[in-house]
Structure formats: structure tokens, C-alpha cells
Chains A and B, each alone.
Chain A
Amino acid sequence: GESVGLHLPTLSVQEGDNSIINCAYSNSASDYFIWYKQESGKGPQFIIDIRSNMDKRQGQRVTVLLNKTVKHLSLQIAATQPGDSAVYFCAEKSTGNQFYFGTGTSLTVIP
């Protein structure tokens, strides 16, 4: 089966600093990736996606980087705010329509 893992289960950053959340995936055939944010008591919320034919994609305050050589995905959050505190999941899709999710990284923003 698929294996999507996260390097750090928890991350604490100062408000205003940049955050980097990492994710490793095992299937080199995966060609679509999504980062989700999950706040306590809520469902996962789409943040940003990237296709395998891209190395970088930027959104509002977020950037996703994809390194296919080492099968690594990262999410960068600029000027982290208290509202960014949540669990972040990366998800990969290879064959079929199902996503495989990592166990998540808990981001805590320190005011």
C-alpha cells in the first residue's frame, strides 16, 4: 500500500515566523498531492495542491514544494498566525481515485 509519512509530528513556531512542514511519500508513481489543514473538531480543509509536473506552487501565504527525486513534499507558511495552529496532512494520489494521507503534523503558533 501507499506510505505517506511526516518527518515531525509536532512543530511550534513564533507568531510572525515562517513555518515549514515536511512530508515524505513512498510511491514514485504518485502524481497529485494536496495539503490539508484540520482544526480541532473540524474536517480537513483544502490548502493547496500540486501536480507532479510542477516543483513549486504558491498560494496566499502558503507555498508547496515538490522534490520528486527524493519523494519529498513541503508546505511553507509565511508569517505564521495563531489561526494557523492546526494539524496539517499531506495526501498523495497515484493510481485510482483514492488519496493516501500521512498521520499529520501538529502546528502550534506561539503568540
Chain B
Amino acid sequence: DSGVTQTPKHLITATGQRVTLRCSPRSGDLSVYWYQQSLDQGLQFLIQYYNGEERAKGNILERFSAQQFPDLHSELNLSSLELGDSALYFCASSVGLMKVETQYFGPGTRLLVL
């Protein structure tokens, strides 16, 4: 158990809908990262938050957004969902912003868009 929690574990929805994925980082970690993992794809970095502020953006679609709250939990919002958004979404956390810092991953949310 990495200490990172994610809810829900599974999510099934329809195209055009909007969903929110939730992540709680390890105790003491200030940085939260979101990744998408599709079939036959590696982990694609989406976005990073540190202590409530956005720090880095990766391949995140405009239909997707995220935020980190004062209690450090984070939410990833996916809107106008398309079939191709079906994937595993992982949250990871790390202590802060140091270069040499391990990221610890949660168990993921499996999203299926029908």
C-alpha cells in the first residue's frame, strides 16, 4: 500500500458526460500528479499540483481540469467524455518539488466511457 488513495475504483459513464476523480496523497506529501494509462500506452503525464497550485502540465486535454484543495487532496475533472477517454487514471504524490523525489502511485480509477 503506497498510502495514496483514489476513488472511485471503477467508473462507467456515457459519452458527453462529466466525471470527477478524487485523490488523497500520502500523509505529508505536497505534490500530486495525474497520469492517464490507456491500452497499449505507457503512463502519460497530465498535470501536477504543488500545495494547491498548478506546477506543470503535460498532455492534458482542454476538456480535462484538475485542482488541489487546502487539505491537499486533488480532483481531476473530465468533461464532454469521449470513447477514447476510457483508460486508467492514476494519481501519484511526492514530498515536494525536489528533483530526486520518488512518486508514489495510487491504485487508480478505471474509467469506461460507453
Which residue numbers of A lie inside 8 Å of B, CB to CB? 4, 31-32, 34, 36, 42-46, 49, 51, 89, 91, 93, 96-104
The interface centre, meaning the residue of A32, A44, A91 with most chain B CB atoms within 10 A of its CB, is A44
- What's the nearest-Cβ distance from chain B to residue A20, in Å? 20
- The reply to whether B41 and A103 form a contact with Cβ atoms under 8 Å apart is yes
**Given A32-B100, A43-B108 in contact, is the A97-B41 Cβ separation under 8 Å?**
no
Chain B neighbourhood of A49, CB < 8 A: 100, 102
Could you mark each residue 68-112 of chain B with 1 if its beta carbon is under 8 Å from any beta carbon of chain A, else 0? 000000000000000000000010101001011111111110000
Which residue numbers of B lie inside 8 Å of A, CB to CB? 2, 4, 31, 33, 40-45, 48, 55-56, 58, 90, 92, 94, 97, 99-108
Chain B neighbourhood of A45, CB < 8 A: 2, 105
- The reply to whether A103 and B40 form a contact with Cβ atoms under 8 Å apart is yes
- The reply to whether A99 and B103 form a contact with Cβ atoms under 8 Å apart is yes
- The reply to whether B42 and A98 form a contact with Cβ atoms under 8 Å apart is no
- The reply to whether B58 and A98 form a contact with Cβ atoms under 8 Å apart is yes
- The reply to whether A97 and B48 form a contact with Cβ atoms under 8 Å apart is yes
A39 to B90, CA, bound (A): 14
